[in-house]
Amino acid sequence: MKNIAVLVSGGGTNLQALIDAQNGGTITHGKIVTVVSNKADAYALERAKRAGIETAVISRRAEGENFSHALTEHMKARSIDLIVLAGFMSILNGELLREYEGRIINIHPSLIPSFCGDGFYGLHVHEAALSYGVKVTGATVHFVNEVVDGGKIIMQKAVEVRDGDTPETLQRRVMEEAEWIILPRAVEKLCAEM
């Protein structure tokens, strides 16, 4: 059984998908042992507490230059095997990326290499997709490296863009039809292969 850490910044819908997959038997080779947020008021922390999962707040604002080191120490103390970024709105660098190379993954709300990189997060991704006029979007699970959204792709799932979509309706459909499906599958796949 591999130890999983989930890093979050907001509501935690992807975290909830992982908790549900763990409870429902989709994730059998790993267990979420800690949820870390860079924001003390992130609702994701409440989701974790309700599921009986340890939580912590480690923020760049509080830690400054020690942010990467503080995250790394938290992970090492819990023997973390896999780190999952599930709506974590802080760019990782330094020690954490070196110590956990090939063991940090992220879910991105587009089909990389489209609509990714600096500035492409949350609704901005869906606004860009609609503005460009694409007919298909989706989600991508990828490894995290020093290039924002630049790591090797693990899994993708396409979602149709519909006439009349708004950034909000498209975001919801991408979560429901892609993110909440492929993120748990990718976590299980990686845990089983470790």
135-164: pLDDT as tens digits: 999 999 999 999 999 999 999 999 999 999
**pLDDT at residue 164 in the model:** 97
Active site residue 74: no
**What amino acid is encoded at 185 in this protein?**
R
Q: What percent of the chain has pLDDT over 70?
A: 100
Instruction: Using CB atoms within 10 Å of the CB of residue 179, give its burial: 0 to 12 exposed, 13 to 18 middle, 19+ buried.
Output: buried
**pLDDT at residue 99 in the model:** 97
Alpha-carbon span 181 to 123, nearest angstrom: 19
What is the arithmetic mean of pLDDT over 68-82? 98
**pLDDT at residue 131 in the model:** 98
Domain range enclosing 119: 2-193
Domain containing residue 85: CATH number: 3.40.50.170
Catalytic member of 69, 74, 108, 124: 108
What is the arithmetic mean of pLDDT over 93-108? 97
Q: How confident is the model at residue 13 (pLDDT cuts 50, 70, 90)?
A: very high
Structure tokens belonging to residue 120? 């492409």
What is the arithmetic mean of pLDDT over 20-47? 98
Query: Which residues does 33 contact at the CB level (< 8 Å), separation at least 6?
Result: 3, 4, 5, 53, 54, 78, 80
How many CB atoms neighbour CB 69 within 10 A? 14
Q: How confident is the model at residue 45 (pLDDT cuts 50, 70, 90)?
A: very high
**What amino acid is encoded at 184 in this protein?**
P
Instruction: Using CB atoms within 10 Å of the CB of residue 132, give its burial: 0 to 12 exposed, 13 to 18 middle, 19+ buried.
Output: exposed
**pLDDT at residue 50 in the model:** 98
How many domains does one find in the chain?
1
What is the arithmetic mean of pLDDT over 78-92? 96
**pLDDT at residue 63 in the model:** 92
Q: What is the mean pLDDT of the chain?
A: 97
